[in-house]
Amino acid sequence: MKKRFLAIFLVLTLALTLLAGCGKKPSEPAAPEAASPPEADAQALQELNVGVAQDFDSLDPHHATAAGTKEVLFNLFEGLVKPTSEGQLVPAVASDVKVSDDGLTYTFTLRQGVKFHNGDTVDMQDVVFSIDRNRIAADGGAALIPALAVIQDLTYDDTTLTLTLSEPSLELLSYLTLAILPADYEEQETAPVGTGPFKYVSRQAQDNMVIERFEDYWGTPAKLDKVTFRIIENVEGLVMGLQSGALDLVMHLTSTQTAQLSEKDFHVEVGSMNLVQALYLNNAVTPFDDVRVRQALCYGVDKQDIIDRAFDGYGIPLGTSMFPSFGKYYDESLTDYYTHDVEKAKALLADAGYPNGFDMTITVPSNYQPHVDTAEVLKEQLKDIGVNVTILPVEWGVWLSDVYGARQFESTITGLTSDNMTARKLLERFGSQIGNNFTNYNNSEYDEILAKAVTSTSDEEQTALYRQLEKNLTENAANVYLQDMADLVAVRNGVEGLTFYPLYVLDVSTLYWAS
Amino acid sequence: MKKRKLNGYLLAGLLITGLLLLMTLYGAIHTPYSPTAYTGMKFEAPSAAHLFGTDKLGRDIFSRVLKGMGTTLSIALATVAIGAVVGTAVGAVTGYFGGLVDDALMRLNDTLTAFPSILLALLVISLLGPENKYNLILALGIVFIPSFARVTRTAFASLRDVNYITSARLMGAGNLRILLVHLLPNTGRVLFPALTIGFNNAVLAEASMSFLRITPLETSLGYMLSEAQGMFAAAPWYALSTGSVIALLVFGVGLIGEGLQQRDKEA
* Residue that terminates a domain, selected from A159, A189, A219: A189
pLDDT at A5 (0 to 100): 53
What CATH number is given to the structural domain containing A433?
A: 3.10.105.10
Shortest CA distance from A24: residue in chain B = B233
Q: Is any Cβ of chain B less than 8 angstroms from the Cβ of A45?
A: no
Contacts of A21 in chain B (CB under 8 A): none
Tell if the CB–CB gap between B255 and A376 is shorter than 8 Å: no
State the smallest CA–CA distance between residue B253 and chain A in angstroms: 12
State the smallest CA–CA distance between residue B140 and chain A in angstroms: 19
pLDDT at A38 (0 to 100): 46
- The verdict on A349 and A476 lying in the same domain is yes
Tell if the CB–CB gap between A376 and B229 is shorter than 8 Å: no
- The verdict on A260 and A382 lying in the same domain is no
pLDDT above 90: percentage of residues in chain A: 65
A82-100 pLDDT, tens digit per residue, is: 998 887 889 999 999 999 8
pLDDT, averaged per 10 consecutive residues of chain B (267 residues), comes to: 71 94 91 82 85 86 91 92 94 90 89 85 83 84 91 89 87 86 85 89 86 77 84 83 92 91 78
- The verdict on A213 and A291 lying in the same domain is no
What CATH number is given to the structural domain containing A252?
A: 3.40.190.10
Tell if the CB–CB gap between A9 and B37 is shorter than 8 Å: no
A226-254 pLDDT, tens digit per residue, is: 999 999 987 778 998 999 999 999 998 88
- The verdict on A287 and A402 lying in the same domain is yes
pLDDT over 70 at A30, yes or no: no
* Residue that terminates a domain, selected from A140, A172, A189: A189
The answer to whether A161 touches A110, Cβ cutoff 8 Å, is yes
Q: Is any Cβ of chain B less than 8 angstroms from the Cβ of A372?
A: yes
**Which of A19, A31, A81 lies closest to B230 in space, CA to CA?**
A19
- The verdict on A322 and A174 lying in the same domain is no
Q: What residues in chain B have their Cβ under 8 A from chain A's Cβ atoms?
A: 9, 36-38, 56-58, 130-131, 213-214, 216-217, 229-234, 236, 239-240, 243-244, 247, 251, 254-255, 258, 262
- The verdict on A436 and A350 lying in the same domain is yes
A306-356 pLDDT, tens digit per residue, is: 999 888 889 999 999 999 888 888 999 999 999 999 999 999 999 999 999
The answer to whether A318 touches A482, Cβ cutoff 8 Å, is yes
Please state the pTM of the whole predicted model. 0.77
A148-205 pLDDT, tens digit per residue, is: 988 999 999 999 999 999 988 888 898 999 999 999 898 999 999 999 999 999 999 8
Contacts of A393 in chain B (CB under 8 A): 213-214, 217
Pairing of strands A480-484, A316-317: antiparallel
pLDDT at A364 (0 to 100): 94
Q: Which domain holds residue A500?
A: 35-76+196-272+488-515
Q: Is A35 exposed, middle or buried (0-12, 13-18, 19+ CB in 10 A)?
A: middle
What CATH number is given to the structural domain containing A148?
A: 3.90.76.10
pLDDT at B223 (0 to 100): 85
- The verdict on A85 and A185 lying in the same domain is yes
- The verdict on A308 and A410 lying in the same domain is yes
Q: Which residues face A483 on adjacent strands? A: A277, A317
| d(C-alpha A372, C-alpha A208), whole Å | 24
**Which of A63, A92, A88 lies closest to A78 in space, CA to CA?**
A92
- CA max distance for chain A: 92
Tell if the CB–CB gap between A376 and B36 is shorter than 8 Å: yes
Domain count for chain A, please give it. 3
- The verdict on A25 and A48 lying in the same domain is no
| ipTM of the complex as predicted | 0.77
pLDDT at B225 (0 to 100): 87
pLDDT at A39 (0 to 100): 47
Query: pLDDT tier at A58 (50, 70, 90 boundaries)?
Result: very high
- The verdict on A2 and A118 lying in the same domain is yes
Pairing of strands A480-484, A486-492: unpaired
State the smallest CA–CA distance between residue A119 and chain B in angstroms: 46
pLDDT at A183 (0 to 100): 93
- The verdict on A292 and A268 lying in the same domain is no
* Residue that terminates a domain, selected from A189, A209, A237: A189
- The verdict on A180 and A325 lying in the same domain is no
